[in-house]
Structures are given as structure tokens and as C-alpha cells.
Structure 1
Amino acid sequence: MDDETAEIELLEQNLNKTRQISQRMTTILNSFDTRLAKLEKSILPLYTSTQILNRRANNIEKALLKIDEVASNQEGIAAEEALILRGPQPGQLPVYQEALERLNASIAFQSSDRDILDTARLVETGAKKLTQLFTKLVAEGSTGSTPAPNSEISSAPFPATLLTTLRLLIAYMRTLPLPASHPSHPAAPAIMSTLKDAQKGYADMRGTWSRKCLEAQGKRVIDRADTVDSIVAGKDFGRWVESLLSVADEEYKYIKELSPLSSPNVVASSYNSLLNPILSLFSTTLTSLIAFIKPALHKYAFCALAAYEALLALQPRWDALLSRRGSENAKANELKDGLITLRGICLRSFPEFLADIKMASLAKSVPGTETSVGVADFVNNAVKYLDRLPEVHGAAGAALLQLGDGNWKMGEGVTVGKSSKLVDGDEQLILEHFIFDVISTAINSLTTISRSQRRPAHGSIFLLNNISYLRHNIVLEPTHEALLDFLSRQSQDALNSNFRTAKAAYFDANFSPLLQTLTDDPAGKSGQKSAVKEKFTRFYELLEEVLERHKGARLLEDDPDGRQSIGEDVVKLVVPSLQRFTNKYREKEFSKNPQKYIKQSPDDVERQLKAMYR
């Protein structure tokens, strides 16, 4: 019990101690609480001030960051502005394009603090710099050495390296803002105007360059027209026009590919400007050719026909060329105007040629002189003319159809009725008619000249020589066999018939007097000795005249076979008659000395006659 009491007392003592300790702890904590309250009261203003300072510090830091950002942007804009103002540098075109794209993007999204109008002006400047580069490259490609005058020209030179750069440049220039694609872009109207000027400059430079490349060749065609064959000269002009069309075709491909503005109407208008110098050169060259032909149309008629035929063949290509110029320029057709002028010259050449042949028969010979029995100049010209006609039959047929069947006779032809009027497709027929009239006119002139000769025998040789020359070179052995395709049966019959007539007239004028001396007189005096002596004497006198005449008046000099054939006919005509006459009167002893009158035997006469035709 005492133990328990002692323990209880001990516990009570410990409890009292614990209570005392708790009271002291409470007192201490209360003191701490009071102190903390005082401390909090003291620190609170400082804390509030610190928060304010922290916010200010954050604001200052943000302001500094913003200032740095603005400064950085200003440096970038200044750099881009310097890049734009400097213009695209070699090898840096993509960099320049990217800078312009950023400026356009800032305008589109208004993402820049920069004034939009200032940015638009900078974009406009960039577009102008690009067009300046474009113009510079085109100018470089449109200068230099032109092709040689005697070379084939299919295009005006354009260096491949420049084309590559231009293609890249044009690909971007076509993306620049324009009123149609970017109606709200402030710089779009100005850029549109700039690109129009650049495109106009391109057309002017390429047109001038193309003309320069073609000019020397065109001048060469005119300069050498007098030194080469007329048809060759006309075909040379045709080839030059073909080169001109080839150059124009190539330039159309270029302008479609390299135009900053690719709309069809703008391209057509620019192409028309490009063509103007080229077409002006065509008109000038054609005018020079016509001025060359007109004063000597008789000499250069085939030049006109060949040129006309060449232009007719090129008309479809020319029409295709004109269709690219735009509807507003469709009325102008330089080739059509040139064809009309050339056709007028060709139409004039046909009646003038026939008139020249006809006028040859009216020319008066010089008193005291004899007309040469050789081939007349107008006959030689007629043969040459007909030989060349098939080479330009297309142009000749078209022109003659335009002139009208028979109208080349200058009023002498029969008026053609409507039912028989020739139309397109009748070129072959009208050429046959014209050739027949040429042959008929030549024959009539020859006949007139031969009949006007003072000595019929001389005139007969002239007629036979010329008719034979016509027949030989037109019907028998023409230089160009194609002539036979345009030679009607009527023309061949006319030449063959007149050849036979001329041959008969030759025999009659030169050998009928010989044969007449060997015939018996109807009065019965031929058997008298004196008459026989006179006949033999007269025969050999006339034979001597014939031999002497043929020494100075050669027959068929250019046709040895024909001359030999006529010689054989002469021998068959003269020698048998002489043989019969000699045999008949030699037996009758008309003279004690027959050799005095029979100066040559028939064999000797035959040898002399044959020698005359060798």
C-alpha cells in the first residue's frame, strides 16, 4: 500500500513538473507568437515593396526583350531593303526572289510593323530591278555578229545560256502581283505598267535584231539578181522570204515563252510590234526587186514569175503568221499586197512579150544591107522563153487565168464567152493557148520578114532556118522536156506544117530556076542546038549562083542532121533531072564540043550539092 502511495505521489510530482513545463512552454510560445506578429507587422511593407520591384523588374526585362526584337527587325528590314535596292546579283536570283516573297507576304498578312505603302513601294522597286535584268539579258541576246549573207537563216541567234537564265527569271516575274491576281496589292498597277514596258522593249529589240539578221541576205538577193539566172534570182527571193517566215516563227515561240505578261491578247500585240521591222524589211526588199525588174521586164520577166510562184507557195505560212498578230491587225497583209504588185508585172509581161515578137517584123532594115539568114534574135528569145516557162508554170498559169484567155493579144484576141471562161484548175489549158499564140506570132513575123526580102531565095533560107530552129527546139528536142507537156497538138501541127511550107518555098526559090532550065520549051524550040546550049549554060550559071549564095547563107547551122536531110532531097530533086537532060541531048550532038557546055557531070554536081550541106 505504501508502495502504491509512493508511486502515486511520484506520479503527481511528475505531473506537476510536466504541468509547469507546459506552462513555461506555453508562455514561451505566446512570446514567440507575439514576436512573430510584431515581425510580420514589420516585414509586410517590405514584402509588398519587393513584389512591386519584382513586377517592375519583369516589365523592364520584357521591355528590353521587345526593344531587342524591334532592333533586330529593323536590321533585317534594312538588309532586305538594301538587297532590293541593289537588284538581283549574278547567281543570287533565288535570294532576291525570296526577299520579294517575304515583302509580299508581309503585305498580304499585314504581319509587319512597317508601313504597307512603304513595303509596296519596295516591292515595286524589286519588280523594276527584275525587269531591268530581263531587258539587259534580252539586249545581250539581240546583239553581236549577224549570220553570213550566203547562209541559211532559220532563226535570229539567241544564246542558250541567256535563254536558261531568262526562263528562270520569267517564271518568277509571272508570279508578281498584278491587278487581275492581286487586286488589293498597292503595287499591282505599277508592276503591271512596268511589265508592259519590259514586254514592249523585248518586242522592239527582238524585231530590230531579226531585221538586222535578215537584212544582209535580202540585200544580197537584190545585188546578185543581175548576175544570176532570172529564175534563180526569183527563187532566191522566195528562199529569203521563207527564211524570214522561219525567223518569225521562232520569234513567236520565244515571245510566248519569254513574255512577262502571258495573256493571249498581250502576246499578240507584242508579237505585232516585233513583226513590224521584219515586215517593213520584206516590203522594202520586194519594192527593190520590183524596181529592178520593171525597167527591163523583157529581160527579167522570169524573175518576177519565179518570185510570184514562190510567194504563192508561201501564202499558207504567211496567213498563219498573220493570225498570230491579233484581230485588230488582221487587215494588214504585206504578202498579199506584194503578190498583187508582182502579179501586175507578170500580167504585163505576157502581152509585152508577144508585142516584141510582132514588132520584130515591122523593123526596117538598113538600106543597102541584107537581113541575116541566121536565127533571128526574137526567135531565139521565143525559144528561150518557152523553154523556161515550164519551170514557173504554176505562176504563169495563175497569172494568165487572171489576165483572161486570149487577152494577152492586147485586143486582138477573140472575146471569150462565159460558157468557155477558164477557171482555177485550167492552168494547163491556158498555158497551151498562150504557147500556141507565141508560136503563131513568131511564125507570122518570120513570114512577113521573109516576104519583105529583096531576094526571095535569100528570104526562103531565112524562113527555113528560123522555122526549123523553132520546130527543132520546141517539138523535136526541147531543152526542157517538160515543155512538151504544155505543147498542144495545134501548136505541133502549126510548126510541122510551116516547116514543110518553108522547106517547099526554099526548094522553089533556090532550085526551081535550075529545074526550069532543064525542061523542054512548049513551043518546040528546046530541040534546037542553040536552045540546048543556052539551057546548059544557064543551068551552070544558076548552079554557080546557088553554090555562091549558100557559101554566105548557111542553112540550118545548128542542125547538121536536118541540113543533111535537105541536101539529100536537093540531090534527088536536081541530079536526076540533070542526068536525064544530059543523056537526052548528048546523043543528039547539039555541039561539036559538048564539054564546053556540059561543064560538070551529074556526079560532079551531086558532089558539089552534098558539099554545100555539110
Structure 2
Amino acid sequence: MVAPRNTAYAEESAEVEVLYANLEKLNRLTKKIQGSMVRLETSGKVVKEAIGPIYSNTQSLQITNSNIDKVNDAIDRLRQPLDAKNREDGTIRAGPQNSGLKAYIMAMKRVEKALVDLSTTNLRSNQQAMTDFNDLLNIGSLKLQETLRAELNQHVTPVEPLHYLTKGLQFPSIPEDTIAHLAQLCSAIGSASIHGLQRSKGENPAMKIYAETRGPYITASLQNLAIASMNTVKRRPTDGPYKQGTNGIGIYSNALEAFIITEHGIIQQMFSGAQQGLVLQATFLSAMGEYSKTLRELNQYIKANLMTDCFLAFEIIEIVMKMSYDIEPKAAELKSLLVEALRPVRETAKSSLSELLEETKRKASTVPLPPDGGSVPLVEEVMNSLATLTGYEDPLSSILTSLGDGNWHAKSKASGSAPLDVGPDTKVLLSHFILDMLEALMTSLEARGRAFHRSKAALGVFLSNVFCIVDRSIRQTPELAQKLGAPDSIARIDTFRKRATSTYLDAWKETSQYLLDVQYTSRGAQRNSGGNVDSSAIVKSLSSKDRDAIKDKFKSFNASFDEMVSRHKTLHMEREVRTVLSRELQTVLEPLYARFYDRYVEIDKGRGKYIKYDKASLSVQLAQLS
């Protein structure tokens, strides 16, 4: 039997026992939870091992389903091009007239797309289908080409260019709405050529159609002008040198340029940038060929008539070069054709310069001279030619620059002197050539005159007349005066005038010799240093022999002077020449005669037996020579 415990501790002991009892229950509960967790973990592993394969199979099935969907889509895409053939075949084979151009072009585009899609699959089974599509696209392209050719043919009736040029009208083009319509055709034809069987050719068939249609129209329209250019070149020999602007080549060139500008405007709207130059060049191939042929024929005529028609060569150069520069921004492809067409004329023009010099020398050395000292028509011909040359400064500058300064001489050419690409100012080159022409003319005529004229008076007058006509032409032609206005040029020309005057005065030397009394003036006592001369004293100081000599001098002077005056009056002189020569003669002869007269006037004692002219009457005689 348990001993009784203290009541105070009895309650605490009871509480402790309750706590132990609860702790025991908690331990049992924990063990149950741990057992449940073990069983749950074991069950989870079993479930995972059971469900894992099922999940994996589900993912594989989803991927398979996705692949099946993609295959179905691909099959649908493959079927679409094949379906397009059946849909578009009838439309394309019927032609654009039935369905309308817009619908027809859309059908063509769908066929092109189908062909591209088939090409990307690269399946052997599609090869036949691709061939069928190519055939269909080719059929459609040919029908579009027929349409393009037919519509272009409605605008190729030849026109008369002269009508539009004279009235200042624009050359006829194709209506704007038609151009837009044709541009669609060209684009569709070009697109078909890229995707269809024609893609290997590398060009748009529309380009060839345009050139084949518009080219003959332009050539036919220009035909009359080509004929007119040849007809207007033929002139009578009496017509003289070619006159600027009288040949039809200028109008012909203007018309050709107008056609180029018009066609460029059309082509620019109908074709892409890369194609425009090729189309323009192909379109004008025939017209440029005819133009080149005309230039060659004109060149043959110029070569056969070089002295009178070389100016036409210069004009052609100016016209063609200007046209080539004008069209370059729009039709650079045609510039090379123009330059090549011009080449023969340019070569003839270059050779004509040395030929002008040589021909001038040949004519001057054989020209018949009038016995009265008059000039010859050749002088005016050459001066007219030189004046005409100044009207072609631009082409001449180009030619002279390519030749080089002085290389226009035949001897320079023969010696193989290399032409210079650069040199003095072109105006200086032209001045040098003109001076060489003048010197060739005047020196050759001088040699001819010295061989023909026995009298120095006639020779001097002849040379003075030649210079006078040359000088007059220069003064009356502002262009020549400008080219020859430099001091060195004036000096070179004036040298000839001085020789001419000196030659004329040489004819009076004999007359002047009679007025010289060297044998007397050497005596210091009889020389007059200035002031009045005492003729009586001088005469008295002379011996009888010296007096007779003075008397003979007066007689001989009188006879020689009268003869020279008479001869002078028979010579033909230009008005300016007569004035100049008489003044020069007065300047030389009057002082000599006045001195001689003042010294020996008393030899005659006023009887007029030996002295025919006093100073005043001699001066009158000389003045009347002008």
C-alpha cells in the first residue's frame, strides 16, 4: 500500500502524469505519420514509374501530328501551282483581247508565281509541270508581244520633219495614255522573259519589238532630208566657195536630234533605266546608219572640190559636234555613233588646211598677170575664203589644236611631225594659220610678179595692189581684223607693204640719180649748211665742163621724169595705192629736186632751155599722180 503523499504535490504529480501520457500519444502519432509518409513515397514511385512511359508517348504523338499537319500544308502548296495551270490556261491561250489587258497580266503573274514555287521544290516529279508552265508563259508572252507590235504600228506613219522644224512644233510622239498602256505591256513581257524559257537570252523582247517598229518609221521620215543634203551640195563652178547654211545637212541634223529627243521621252516611260539606252541605240541604228552614209557621200564631194567646199566640212563638224553635246545627257549611247560618223569628214577637214596652203601657192605661181600691174582675182578669192574661215572658229579651233601650231604645212606632215594635243590659245592658232595663208599668197604672187614684170614700177604697183586688197579685206571684215590685230601679226603683214613700196620707188632711182651731185657737194666751200642758197655764185664757181654736166642732168631728169609720169599713168592702181605711192614719191623726190633746183637754177637763166619744172610745177605734177 502506497503511503499517502502530500496534497500540495499530489496535483503537480497528476499534471506530470498527464503530460507524460500526452507525450506518449504524440510519439505514437509521429510514428503513424512517419509510416504514412513512407507509404506515400513508395506509392509515388510506383505511380511515376507507371505514368512516365505514357507521357513520353504522348509527346511523340504530338510531334507526329505537327509533322503530319506540315506535310498536309506542303501538299496543299504543291497542289496550288498545279491548280493554277488549269485556272489560267484558258485565259492565257485566249489572248488579252478577250479578258482585258489588266486581267491577262494578272493571270500571267499568277503563272509566273506558280512556276517560281515549283522551281523552289526541286522535285523531279514537278519537271513536267514546270515544262507545261513554261510553255503557257511563253504563249502568253508571245500574245503580249503581238499586242505590243500591233499597238505600236498604229503610231508609225512617216512624217515630214521640215513641217515641224519650220513651224517650231514638237515632233509627234505617242499619246500619254497609250504610253502608259504600252509600258504595262513591256513590263509584263519583260517579266515573262525573266521567268520563262527566254530568260537565258538576257533581254526583254519588248525592246526588240520597239526598235523594229519605231526604227523604220524614223528612217523613212528622214529619207527626204538625206536626199536633200546631197542635192544641195551640187553647185555650179561659178557659184564660188560654199556658203554657210546652204546645204541641207543642217536641217537633216536638226530633225535627227528632234527624233532622238522625242524617242527618248517615250522610251523613258516605257522601259526601265537599264534598258533605256539599249532600246534607244537599237531604235536609231538604221537612222544613224543612213546619216553616216550621207556624211560619207558629202565627204567624197568635199574631197573632190576641196578648195571651194572644205567650208562645208567645217560646218558639218560644227553641226555634228553640237548635236552630240546636246544629246549626251539623254542619249549618251548615240554620241559615239555620231563621232564615228563624223570621223571621215574631220580627217578631210584636217587635210584641207595644208591643201589650202599648197593650192594657194600653186595658183599664185601660175596665175596670169595683167601687164598694167593690176591685181588678180585670186587675191579676193583667198581673202573671201579667209573671211569665210572665221565663221567656223569652233571646229577650226578643234582641228588646229589636234594638229599643233604650224603642223598644217605640207612639209611638216611629210617630215612626220607629231600633232600636238595641247598648244597655244586656239584663237592664236587660227591667227597663225591665217597669217601663213596670207604669206603663202603674197610671197608666191611676189615671185610670180618678179618673173613676169620687167618694169620695177609695174612690179611695185602690182605688189602694192595685192597688199591693198589684202589690207582692205582685213579692215572690212571685223573677224579678220580681230584675228590679225596683234602687233606681231600687223608687223608680218606690213613687211610686204614695205617691200612693195620700196620696189616702186626703186623704179624712180634713175630719175633721182640725176638730182645727185656728189662730185660737187664734196667741196666744202660749195656745201650749204642751211639758209638761202646763192645759185649764181655756185654756177659761177663751176667749170664749163661742170656746167655742161649740170645741164645734162636737168635734161636727163626731165626726160626720165616725163617717162616715169607717163608710165605711172598707164598702170592700174587701186585708189588707196595711187594715193600712197604718189605721197611716198613726193616725200623722196620733192626734197631732192628742190635742193638741186635751188643750187643750179641759174644754169638756165630763166630761158627754160634746160629746166622744165620749177619747184611748184614739179610739186603739181607729183600731186596729180595721186
TM-score between the two structures when normalised by the length of structure 1: 0.66
Is 1:134 aligned with 2:152? no
Contact 1:533-1:597 within 8 A present in 2 as well: yes
Match of residue 287 from structure 1: 296
Match of residue 35 from structure 2: none
Paired with 1:398 and 1:103, the residues of 2 have a C-alpha distance of: 55
Deviation of 1:585 (Å):
5.0
Q: How does 1:326-405 map to 2 (within 5 A)?
A: 333-360=336-363, 362-363=365-366, 371=371, 373-405=373-405
Which of 173, 177, 201 aligns to 1:158? It is: 173
Paired with 1:106 and 1:200, the residues of 2 have a C-alpha distance of: 24
Q: Judging changes above 3 Å, is the alpha-carbon distance between structure 1 residues 145 and 343 closer, same or farther for their aligned structure 2 residues?
A: closer
Which of 251, 258, 268 aligns to 2:270? It is: 258
Q: Judging changes above 3 Å, is the alpha-carbon distance between structure 1 residues 211 and 371 closer, same or farther for their aligned structure 2 residues?
A: farther
Is 1:517 aligned with 2:514? yes
Q: Judging changes above 3 Å, is the alpha-carbon distance between structure 1 residues 249 and 370 closer, same or farther for their aligned structure 2 residues?
A: closer
Q: Judging changes above 3 Å, is the alpha-carbon distance between structure 1 residues 455 and 482 closer, same or farther for their aligned structure 2 residues?
A: closer
Contact 1:204-1:274 within 8 A present in 2 as well: yes
Q: Deviations over 1:563-614 (max 9, x none)?
A: 43443333343345445555655534468x52x665555544434433332x
Counterpart residue identity of residue 148, structure 1: L
Contact 1:406-1:414 within 8 A present in 2 as well: no
Match of residue 441 from structure 2: 442
Deviation of 1:315 (Å):
4.1
Paired with 1:574 and 1:349, the residues of 2 have a C-alpha distance of: 48
Counterpart residue identity of residue 464, structure 1: S
Which of 552, 559, 563 aligns to 1:541? It is: 559
Contact 1:436-1:490 within 8 A present in 2 as well: no
Match of residue 574 from structure 1: 589
Match of residue 508 from structure 1: 506
Is 1:276 aligned with 2:275? no
Deviation of 1:413 (Å):
9.3
SS of 2:454's equivalent?
coil
Q: Deviations over 1:239-262 (max 9, x none)?
A: 643542342232122123235xx5
Match of residue 451 from structure 1: 450
The share of aligned pairs that are identical, in percent, is 20
Match of residue 490 from structure 1: 488
More deviation in 170-179 or 214-223? 170-179
Match of residue 60 from structure 1: none
Match of residue 623 from structure 2: 610
Q: Deviations over 1:402-460 (max 9, x none)?
A: 33333333226998999x96725643443344344334333432332332222222111
Q: Judging changes above 3 Å, is the alpha-carbon distance between structure 1 residues 322 and 198 closer, same or farther for their aligned structure 2 residues?
A: closer
Contact 1:224-1:233 within 8 A present in 2 as well: no
Q: Deviations over 1:29-72 (max 9, x none)?
A: xxxxxxxxxxxxxxxxxxxxxxxxxxxxxxxxxxxxxxxxxxxx
Paired with 1:217 and 1:174, the residues of 2 have a C-alpha distance of: 35
Q: Deviations over 1:496-522 (max 9, x none)?
A: 23322321221221x323323344484
Q: Which runs of 5+ in 1 are unaligned?
A: 1-76, 110-114, 326-331
How many residues align? The count is 498
Deviation of 1:393 (Å):
3.0
SS of 2:161's equivalent?
coil
Q: Judging changes above 3 Å, is the alpha-carbon distance between structure 1 residues 435 and 311 closer, same or farther for their aligned structure 2 residues?
A: same
SS of 1:612's equivalent?
coil
Which of 478, 496, 500 aligns to 1:480? It is: 478
Deviation of 1:226 (Å):
5.1
Counterpart residue identity of residue 429, structure 2: I
Match of residue 48 from structure 2: none
Contact 1:203-1:271 within 8 A present in 2 as well: yes
Deviation of 1:349 (Å):
1.6
Counterpart residue identity of residue 266, structure 2: Y
Paired with 2:279 and 2:155, the residues of 1 have a C-alpha distance of: 18
Q: Judging changes above 3 Å, is the alpha-carbon distance between structure 1 residues 528 and 465 closer, same or farther for their aligned structure 2 residues?
A: same
TM-score between the two structures when normalised by the length of structure 2: 0.65
Match of residue 299 from structure 1: 308
Contact 1:137-1:166 within 8 A present in 2 as well: no
Counterpart residue identity of residue 373, structure 1: G
Counterpart residue identity of residue 275, structure 1: F
Match of residue 52 from structure 1: none
Q: Deviations over 1:137-156 (max 9, x none)?
A: 32231114422279368865
Paired with 1:138 and 1:473, the residues of 2 have a C-alpha distance of: 58
Contact 1:208-1:277 within 8 A present in 2 as well: yes
Match of residue 64 from structure 1: none
Contact 1:540-1:599 within 8 A present in 2 as well: yes
Contact 1:401-1:424 within 8 A present in 2 as well: yes
Paired with 1:434 and 1:525, the residues of 2 have a C-alpha distance of: 63
Q: Judging changes above 3 Å, is the alpha-carbon distance between structure 1 residues 136 and 580 closer, same or farther for their aligned structure 2 residues?
A: same
SS of 1:554's equivalent?
coil
Match of residue 212 from structure 2: 204
Deviation of 1:126 (Å):
7.3
Q: Judging changes above 3 Å, is the alpha-carbon distance between structure 1 residues 207 and 447 closer, same or farther for their aligned structure 2 residues?
A: same
Paired with 1:409 and 1:246, the residues of 2 have a C-alpha distance of: 40
SS of 2:573's equivalent?
coil
Contact 1:467-1:498 within 8 A present in 2 as well: yes
Q: Deviations over 1:77-117 (max 9, x none)?
A: 9xx989996974xxxx98564477579879989xxxxx999
Q: Deviations over 1:518-566 (max 9, x none)?
A: 4448497897676566544443433343333333323233x3xx64344
Deviation of 1:336 (Å):
3.0
Match of residue 187 from structure 2: 174
Counterpart residue identity of residue 270, structure 1: V
Q: Judging changes above 3 Å, is the alpha-carbon distance between structure 1 residues 158 and 611 closer, same or farther for their aligned structure 2 residues?
A: same
Paired with 2:300 and 2:572, the residues of 1 have a C-alpha distance of: 42
What RMSD in Å do the two structures reach over aligned CA positions?
4.7
Contact 1:306-1:392 within 8 A present in 2 as well: yes
More deviation in 563-572 or 293-302? 563-572
More deviation in 457-466 or 438-447? 438-447
Contact 1:225-1:233 within 8 A present in 2 as well: no
